[in-house]
Structure 1
Amino acid sequence: MATRTFAFSTLINKQTSVFPALEDSDVILERRDAENLVLMRSERFDAMVQGLGLAARSLAIIAKTNRSLAEEVFAEELPWLTWLPADARPQCVTELLDQLLAGAATGLLLPFARAFGEWQSTAEIYSDPELAARLRGPFDTADAVEADRPGGGDD
């Protein structure tokens, strides 16, 4: 599927330039001071959501019946999994599958994207043994200052 890009102001000032592009492509509206927006026809959006749901459910079935196969599939697509400790890989696969399934069922994929980014960042930390060791501690707390809990409570 082709994607066309327009300045957001084009949508406001020259709608006749943007809407015809939706016939054969999705449109990215670039904004200077905010996140870009995507416009697409509802039939393409519905097809994407259905396809994602089917793929996520199929992958979950594989994971339930053959966990090692699911890990192999993820490792093939996510080579950075190899940097995670061996005992963390199943947890990563499980969490990503669960988030993907929930997102496919609800259309809310931001939690999946956040989990994906967090796991990838974690793997990248493990790829640098010196950084991983520094983050494990021990930490020099000689100059530490105790801070109040947010909200002022003592919970």
Structure 2
Amino acid sequence: METKRFSYSAFLRGPSKILPSLDNSDVILERRDDEDLILMRAERFEAGTASLRIAARALAIVARRNVGLAEEVLAEELPWVTWLPDAERSECVRELLDHLIAGADTGELLPFGRALASWRSTAVVWSDPQLARELQGPFPGDGPEVPPPTSES
């Protein structure tokens, strides 16, 4: 599906010029000082939500019956999963699926997005063996004392 972009101010000045675009595309309203907004027809939104819910539940069923297959499927879509140690890979798959299913059911996908970003960062750390060793500790003491900031007048 095509996505068209318009400035938010153009929408405010003349919504009747932008709304017909929704017949065959979704619309992104770009804002300067805040997150962009997306306009779409309710039917497309509901179809996307229903599709996500079905796909998430189907993947969860696969994961319950065959964890290895679920890991393989996620590793295909998220290649960085292969950098995780085996135990963490299973935990990652379980946690991402839990968030995906809950998000598909409620429409709240931000926790899934946050978990995805967090696991991606964890995988990147594991991809560097030296960094992974350093971050596992032990950590020597509390580190050097940091002087309090000075106020500039």
Task: Tell me the TM-score normalized by structure 1.
Answer: 0.89
Q: Which residue of 1 aligns with 2:144?
A: 143
When the two structures are aligned, how many residues end up with a matched partner?
145
- Matched residue SS, 2:98: helix
Structure 1: gaps (5+ residues):
146-155
Cα distance in 2 between the residues matched to 1:42 and 1:103: 18
Cα distance in 1 between the residues matched to 2:104 and 2:18: 29
Amino acid at match of 1:98: D
Change (3 A) 1:6 1:138: same
Amino acid at match of 2:59: L
Amino acid at match of 1:122: T
The one-character-per-residue Cα deviations of 1:112-155 (angstroms, maximum 9, x if unpaired) are: 0100010001101111223222322333424257xxxxxxxxxx
Q: Which residue of 1 aligns with 2:108?
A: 108
Cα distance in 2 between the residues matched to 1:46 and 1:33: 29
Cα distance in 2 between the residues matched to 1:101 and 1:22: 29
Q: Which residue of 2 aligns with 1:14?
A: 14
Q: Which residue of 1 aligns with 2:133?
A: 133
Alpha-carbon shift at residue 2 of structure 1 (Å): 0.7
Of 35-44 and 12-21, the range deviating more from structure 2: 12-21
Amino acid at match of 1:143: P
Tell me how large the CA RMSD over aligned residues is: 1.3
Task: Tell me the TM-score normalized by structure 2.
Answer: 0.90
Structure 2: gaps (5+ residues):
147-153
* Identical positions, percent: 56
Of 128-137 and 72-81, the range deviating more from structure 2: 128-137
Q: Which residue of 2 aligns with 1:44?
A: 44
The one-character-per-residue Cα deviations of 1:61-85 (angstroms, maximum 9, x if unpaired) are: 1111111111110111111011111
